[in-house]
């Protein structure tokens, strides 16, 4: 659909809320919407976020295009670092958070540092974290563990994060300056 001269791809899903992202593949605008959301509501949502879209498009145009080349050696090094760090992180943070994952998966991710499925208690971490400062890995790990208590990023989630990792906001800012590489 076209919204103020911009092509917006709409993906209808079985979700409750509208979500906006810029596709990593082609820098297109994508709105994920609940199945019954009207086109007018989707257009209004995109319009309400036009400043964010402008900033993201500017960032994409001006960012360094140099991509991290995943060689077998680099993959092995990153995976080795993560596999060595995770048991210690799990041992440290499971008692503090009060819940643990059923499974942790490491993989290359194009748009995220990690994800969590609270229903299955499964956590996925970006392989690239194995090449970064351990503090950032720990932040992402605690962030995903916290989703076992609170699925979204609202006030409840933030209260948990404040209790577990008081400096999480500065770590998030530092991580957001990094680029997820493909």
Pairwise CA distance, residues 151 & 164, whole Å: 16
Pairwise CA distance, residues 46 & 141, whole Å: 31
As annotated, the residues of the chain forming the CATH 3.30.2010.10 domain(s) are 72-176
Pairwise CA distance, residues 57 & 51, whole Å: 10
CATH of domain 72-176: 3.30.2010.10
Pairwise CA distance, residues 111 & 85, whole Å: 23
- Digit-by-digit pLDDT tens for the chain (182 residues) are 999 989 999 999 999 999 999 886 677 899 999 999 999 999 999 999 999 998 888 777 666 445 567 889 899 999 999 999 999 999 999 999 999 999 999 999 988 999 999 999 999 999 999 999 999 999 999 999 999 999 999 999 999 999 999 999 999 999 988 877 76
Cβ atoms < 10 Å from Cβ of 65: 6
- β-sheet bridge partners, residue 43: none
Q: Please state, in angstroms and as integers, the Cα–Cα distance from residue 152 to each residue in 16, 38, 42, 117, 160, following that order.
A: 12, 24, 21, 11, 12
């Amino acid at each position: 659909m076209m919204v103020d001269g911009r092509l917006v791809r709409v993906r209808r899903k079985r979700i409750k809320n509208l979500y906006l992202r810029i596709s990593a593949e082609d820098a297109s605008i994508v709105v994920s919407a609940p199945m019954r959301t009207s086109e007018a509501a989707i257009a209004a949502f995109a319009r309400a976020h036009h400043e964010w879209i402008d900033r993201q498009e500017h960032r994409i145009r001006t960012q360094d295009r140099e991509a991290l080349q995943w060689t077998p050696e680099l993959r092995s090094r990153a995976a080795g670092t993560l596999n060595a760090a995770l048991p210690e992180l799990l041992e440290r943070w499971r008692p503090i958070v009060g819940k643990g994952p059923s499974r942790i998966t490491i993989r290359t991710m194009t748009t995220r540092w990690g994800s969590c499925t609270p229903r299955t208690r499964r956590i996925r971490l970006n392989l690239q974290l194995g090449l970064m400062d351990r503090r950032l890995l720990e932040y992402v790990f605690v962030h995903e563990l916290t989703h076992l208590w609170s699925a979204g990023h609202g006030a409840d989630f933030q209260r948990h994060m404040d209790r577990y990792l008081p400096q999480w906001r500065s770590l998030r800012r530092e991580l957001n300056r990094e680029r997820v590489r493909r």
